[in-house]
Amino acid sequence: MKKFQDYEEEIYKCSRCGLCQSVCPVYKATLNECAVSKGKFTILNGILKGDLAFTQKVKSYLDLCTGCNACKNFCPSDIDARDILIAAKNEFYKTCQVNFIYRIISSYFVFKKLLVCVGVFTFLYRLLGIDKLVNNLSFLFSRIPFLGRYILLYNSLVFSGHSKPSVFCSERDSYNNLKTAIFFEGCFNKYINPQTEDSVFKILSDAGIKLMKKNFECCGISFLSDGNFDEFKKIIAINLSKIDSDYNYILTDCASCNSVLKMYKDFSSDKRAADLSAKTISVLDLIHNFKFVANNDFKLAVHVPCHETFDLTNFVKNIANATFIDVEDSSACCGFSGTFAIKNSEISRKISKSKAQKYYDSGVDFVITTCPACVLGLEQGFLDIESKNNTARPKVINLFNFLAGYCSIKNIDL
Going by C-beta distance under 8 Å and a sequence separation of 6 or more, which residues neighbour residue 103?
A: none
Q: Residue 215: exposed, middle, or buried by beta-carbon count in 10 A (0-12, 13-18, 19+)?
A: exposed
Bridge partners, residue 209, by sequence:
179
User: Does residue 354 interact with ligand SF4 by CB under 6 A?
Assistant: no
User: Does residue 192 interact with ligand SF4 by CB under 6 A?
Assistant: no
Contact pick of 36, 58, 84, 294 for ligand SF4 (by CB under 6 A): 36
Q: Using alpha carbons, list the distances in angstroms from residue 182 to 31, 278, 309, 337.
A: 45, 13, 20, 26
Sole window of 3-11, 36-44, 164-172, 226-234 interacting with ligand SF4 (rule: CB under 6 A): 36-44
Contact pick of 30, 69, 352, 380 for ligand SF4 (by CB under 6 A): 69
Contact pick of 4, 29, 54, 67 for ligand SF4 (by CB under 6 A): 67
Which residue, 65 or 134, is less far from ligand SF4 as judged by CB? 65
The answer to whether 374 and 402 are in contact (CB under 8 A) is no
What's the CA gap between 2 and 4, in Å, rounded? 7
| φ/ψ of residue 315, rounded to 5 | -60, -45
Q: Residue 275: exposed, middle, or buried by beta-carbon count in 10 A (0-12, 13-18, 19+)?
A: middle
The answer to whether 159 and 138 are in contact (CB under 8 A) is no
User: Does residue 409 interact with ligand SF4 by CB under 6 A?
Assistant: no
Which residue, 64 or 187, is less far from ligand SF4 as judged by CB? 64
Which residue, 250 or 332, is less far from ligand SF4 as judged by CB? 332
User: Does residue 82 interact with ligand SF4 by CB under 6 A?
Assistant: yes
User: What's the min distance (Å) between Cβ of 201 and ligand SF4?
Assistant: 34
User: Does residue 219 interact with ligand SF4 by CB under 6 A?
Assistant: no
Sole window of 62-70, 96-104, 175-183, 395-403 interacting with ligand SF4 (rule: CB under 6 A): 62-70
Contact pick of 29, 79, 300, 334 for ligand SF4 (by CB under 6 A): 79
Sole window of 17-25, 51-59, 227-235, 276-284 interacting with ligand SF4 (rule: CB under 6 A): 17-25
The answer to whether 154 and 390 are in contact (CB under 8 A) is no
Q: How many CB atoms lie within 10 A of CB 334?
A: 31
User: What's the min distance (Å) between Cβ of 79 and ligand SF4?
Assistant: 5
Sole window of 37-45, 117-125, 238-246, 355-363 interacting with ligand SF4 (rule: CB under 6 A): 37-45
3-state secondary structure of 292: strand
Chain positions contacting ligand SF4, by CB under 6 A: 14-20, 23-26, 36-38, 41, 65-71, 75-77, 79, 81-82
